[in-house]
Amino acid sequence: MNNTPIAKAAESVSKVSVVTAHPAFPTSAQISSCFYTFGTSIVVAFVLYILLFYLLRSFLRRTEKDTAVFILGMLQIPVIAIFILASVKLSLTQLQTKGIINWIDRGITAFLILALTYAITLLFTEAASYYLKVYARKTEAVWDDVLIPLLQNFIPVITYLIGISLFFSTLGFDLTGIGLAIGSITVVLGLAVKDILSDFFSGLVLLVDTPFRFGDVISMPDGSIAIIKHIGIRVTKLYLINEHCEVYTPNTTLGGQNIVNLSRPTTHYAYTIKVSVRVDADAVVATNILQEIIIGHPDTLGNIDEKLKYLDSFAALREAEGDKLSKKEAGRLRLLVEKDVNSQLKKVEQAFEDLVREVKKLEKGGLNSEELGSLQKNYLEILNFVGLVAITERKGNRLRLRLEEEVQTEKQTLIGLIRQWYQTWLKDPDLVIEDQHLLPDEWEQKIELMKIKLNKLFQKFLNPGVDESRLDDYSLKFVEWLHDSFKESNTAWKEPEVQLTDIQGSVMQFSVRFYVDNIQLEHWRRGNRIQNEVRREMVRRLRQAYIYTLG
């Protein structure tokens, strides 16, 4: 009798256990609600898809910028997957989240995380990197060739690591042990590959400091000339001009050397040639001959009128071949256009100097509306020299003035002359195929930068606000940029120099120093070619004068 209650209790517990052990299946009402929710979600997703990828895309195509259209097209497939997975997950909420339903829900959530991870990675590697490059071209930033590859290489790795971790965590895997194991392995590997890590962090320092970028010409400690081809995380790829080969230098080694960047601040670079003349020769006559030779070469910097004067007497130049112009003819055409460019630049610089004087005179005591209107009028006159005009555009309920390039104008403008100049330059028979893209890219980027800077300055003149006393400083800063980073209207300090450096026995030693217009051209061999042509011409002319001798 005493065991009866215990037996009944045990029987009761066993029945409960048996009942709870059976899986709970969804009712017919829940299944109907699930299908209804899924169908509704699919319809909503389809409507959103039509709105995003058809109606919105059609509308955005009418705008000037294609950023949103590009992003929509890139994300089209991931968004479809996200819509479908989200619809299934939402419909499963109508069922009992137990047993197999719970596992299905977890699996869908995990794959939804993977789809989102893929979409985010695409945004970083394709859209973000592309528009960072576009932004860098419109500014004077130098990180586009070093930071963007870093983002393209590391962002996907980090994003996928996070996404995969969340994927397995959602499925119920415990990653604590794996994390500890990875941490232990990382410590061991860190000790084993400390040199590689040193190169890695040195690469990060180079990427942050950006002492040079892709395409820069540098002088190595051993005197060799190299081109920066790629700054990697561990090594930097260099192209040696004279050896015509690529070298991979560890970042630690490169970061610890004294590197001379020959491309900064401009692509002009000075070369020096030593030449010997008979001691009984007239030093003045020898100096004049050497001076005429350097000035007469079309690819060196100097007074353009003098260059045109002595160009015909320079014999060691390429003759016309096929449909290509001779070097003399191509050089003459380019120099004539460059003369007009420099003249227009001087007009712009002089107009800004006059504007600065007027600002300094009027800003005392503040600018009234009449004085500000006078300054705006003078600024617009300067823009006419450049080739820009002010147009009115509507931003919502407001009207806004901005600058646009003047089209189909017969007058000479700075932008038009610059384009005419580099297009004439492309006729140079010594240029290679890469130069046909390098020159237009270089000067179109400079033109775009000039337009942006002038537009910003224009907005200052329209609404100076608290900056009305600094309009002269902003104007002078632009002129300084125009002279240092755009193009010099006067290169008097870069005129060729001929110096008598030594007299030994029967020989007078002369040193000739001159600047080359752009050392990046001709696959970075332009300077070497010019040096060779100048030496040949020196030998020819000095022998004609019977004063050449071997040093």
Quick check: is 17 in a domain? no
Do residues 480 and 412 both lie within one domain? yes
Task: Supply the range of the domain harboring residue 150.
Answer: 28-173
Supply the pLDDT for residue 21. 44
- Token pair 């300054």 is at which residue? 375
Rounded to the nearest angstrom, the gap between the alpha carbon of residue 268 and the centroid of all alpha carbons in its chain is 20
Quick check: is 1 in a domain? no
SS3 247: strand
The mean pLDDT value for 363-383 works out to: 88
Supply the pLDDT for residue 16. 44
Supply the pLDDT for residue 235. 74
Ranked by mean pLDDT, which of 117-131, 179-193, 262-276 comes out on top? 262-276
Supply the pLDDT for residue 454. 94
Confidence of residue 336 (pLDDT cuts 50, 70, 90): very high
Is residue 542 pLDDT above 90, yes or no?
A: yes
The last residue of one of the domains, among 486, 504, 523, is 486
- Token pair 């017969």 is at which residue? 410
Quick check: is 84 in a domain? yes
Cα dist from 531 to 36, 298, 490, 519, 535, whole Å: 82, 12, 23, 12, 6
Is residue 508 pLDDT above 60, yes or no?
A: yes
Supply the pLDDT for residue 514. 95
The last residue of one of the domains, among 486, 505, 522, is 486
Helices 76-92 & 100-122, crossing angle to 10 degrees? 160
SS3 424: helix
Asked if 345 and 482 count as a contact pair (C-beta separation under 8 A), the reply is yes
Quick check: is 340 in a domain? yes
Quick check: is 311 in a domain? no
Do residues 139 and 280 both lie within one domain? no
The last residue of one of the domains, among 261, 290, 317, is 261
Confidence of residue 326 (pLDDT cuts 50, 70, 90): very high
Instruction: Report the share of the chain in percent with pLDDT over 70.
Output: 77
Do residues 472 and 387 both lie within one domain? yes
Asked if 510 and 504 count as a contact pair (C-beta separation under 8 A), the reply is no
The domain spanning residue 530 has which CATH number? 3.30.70.100
The domain spanning residue 229 has which CATH number? 2.30.30
Question: Could you say which DSSP state residue 51 is in?
Answer: I
Quick check: is 314 in a domain? no
Do residues 160 and 62 both lie within one domain? yes
Confidence of residue 177 (pLDDT cuts 50, 70, 90): low
Q: What is the tens place of the pLDDT at every residue in 76-110?
A: 888 888 888 888 888 877 776 566 777 777 888 88
Do residues 246 and 347 both lie within one domain? no
Confidence of residue 9 (pLDDT cuts 50, 70, 90): very low
Nearest of 510, 332, 368, 520 to residue 442 by alpha carbon? 520
Ranked by mean pLDDT, which of 159-168, 224-233, 454-463 comes out on top? 454-463
The mean pLDDT value for 207-216 works out to: 65
Do residues 251 and 390 both lie within one domain? no
Nearest of 226, 233, 209 to residue 260 by alpha carbon? 226
Quick check: is 19 in a domain? no
Do residues 439 and 291 both lie within one domain? no
Q: How many domains does the chain have?
A: 4
- Overall pTM surpassing 0.75 (yes/no): no
Supply the pLDDT for residue 299. 96
Instruction: Please list the alpha-helical segments (H only) found in 123-174.
Output: 129-137, 147-170
Instruction: Report the share of the chain in percent with pLDDT over 90.
Output: 36
Do residues 333 and 472 both lie within one domain? yes
Q: Interior CA angle at 484 toward 479 and 486, to 5°?
A: 80
Q: What is the tens place of the pLDDT at every residue in 446-462?
A: 999 999 999 999 999 98
Q: What is the tens place of the pLDDT at every residue in 487-504?
A: 988 878 889 999 999 999
Supply the pLDDT for residue 328. 95
Do residues 392 and 360 both lie within one domain? yes
- Token pair 């066993």 is at which residue? 14
Do residues 39 and 154 both lie within one domain? yes
The two tokens of residue 371 are 């004085």
Asked if 370 and 380 count as a contact pair (C-beta separation under 8 A), the reply is no
Do residues 479 and 499 both lie within one domain? no
Quick check: is 392 in a domain? yes
Query: Which one has a higher pLDDT value, 149 or 171?
Result: 171
Do residues 145 and 210 both lie within one domain? no
Query: Which one has a higher pLDDT value, 181 or 382?
Result: 382
The two tokens of residue 512 are 């000739």
Calculate the average pLDDT of the chain: 81
